[in-house]
């Protein structure tokens, strides 16, 4: 999909390069990776372990800087911004979901989802309403006051999904968001995940090894030799 006057990419990656030194060797992880993610679409990121998927997500989410290339959000090359500006963009425009939920164990499900809103200085009443609405949408209205240790794996990951969406980001970056769940729960959480993304109108780039899940997303990008190649769903099955 190309940018048009009415459709502009939420995220545009252009010629990303990323390499690391290992002793005398230079290891190239990204070698000119380019892609664009548009509003409301869910894009799968596939490829073997070690191909650079997590590195790409970290750079796309402004957690790392590329050796070369650009990360454009909202018309700005964010890869050239300072740490404070990058942090502000992460807080308002980007949501992260990881394989392991990363919930704060001493807080309830409701409080975990409220946290990003409170950090932004939103009124407590607004934070409670937004967190309650998200958790209820994913069937957790009866688990609001439960701490992570009292939740099942699927419930923990649903809570993490809600936390990622709390600030109404434009972009979700997910790294194996159902990879720590059993197949039945993984299928259920994925279905809810995509449904919630669509209803919120958020763009999503989701790294996954589950090729059946990847084939049901809007598009598929595969990491090949440090680059991103768009492939047809049948090509990954």
Measured from the Cβ of residue 88, the count of other Cβ atoms closer than 10 Å reads 13
Q: Which of 35-44, 114-123, 183-192 has the lowest mean pLDDT?
A: 183-192
Instruction: Report residue 157's pLDDT band, with 50, 70 and 90 as the boundaries.
Output: confident
Does the pLDDT at position 52 exceed 80? yes
179-209 CB burial, b ≥16 within 10 A, e <16: bbbeeebbeebbebbbebbeebebbbbbbbe
Measured from the Cβ of residue 22, the count of other Cβ atoms closer than 10 Å reads 8
Percent of the chain with pLDDT over 90: 49
174, with CB counted inside 10 A (0-12, 13-18, 19+), is buried
Does the pLDDT at position 99 exceed 60? yes
Written out in words, the top-level CATH class of the domain with range 11-235 is alpha beta
Does the pLDDT at position 158 exceed 60? yes
List the one residue out of 132, 136, 131 whose CA is nearest residue 119: 131
Measured from the Cβ of residue 141, the count of other Cβ atoms closer than 10 Å reads 11
């Amino acid at each position: 999909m190309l940018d048009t006057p009415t459709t502009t990419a939420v995220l545009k990656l252009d010629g990303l390069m990323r390499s690391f030194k290992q002793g005398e060797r230079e290891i190239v992880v990204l070698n000119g990776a380019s892609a664009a993610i548009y509003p409301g679409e869910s894009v799968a990121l596939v490829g073997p372990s070690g191909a650079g998927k997590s590195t790409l997500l970290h750079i796309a989410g402004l957690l790392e800087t590329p050796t070369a290339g650009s990360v454009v959000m909202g018309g700005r090359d964010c890869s050239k911004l300072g740490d404070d500006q990058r942090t502000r963009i992460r807080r308002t425009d980007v949501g992260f979901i990881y394989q392991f939920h990363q919930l704060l164990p001493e807080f309830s499900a409701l409080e975990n989802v409220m946290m990003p809103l409170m950090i932004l200085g939103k009124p407590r009443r607004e934070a409670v309403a937004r967190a309650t609405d998200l958790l209820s949408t994913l069937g957790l209205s009866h688990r609001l006051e439960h701490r992570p240790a009292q939740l099942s794996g699927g419930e923990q990951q649903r809570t993490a999904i809600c936390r990622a969406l709390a600030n109404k980001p434009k972009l979700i970056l997910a790294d194996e968001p159902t990879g720590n769940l059993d197949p039945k729960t993984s299928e259920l959480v994925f279905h809810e995940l995509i449904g919630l993304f669509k209803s919120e109108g958020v763009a999503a780039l989701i790294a996954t090894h589950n090729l059946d899940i990847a084939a049901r997303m809007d598009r598929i990008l595969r990491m090949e030799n440090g680059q991103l190649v768009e492939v047809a769903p049948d090509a990954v099955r």
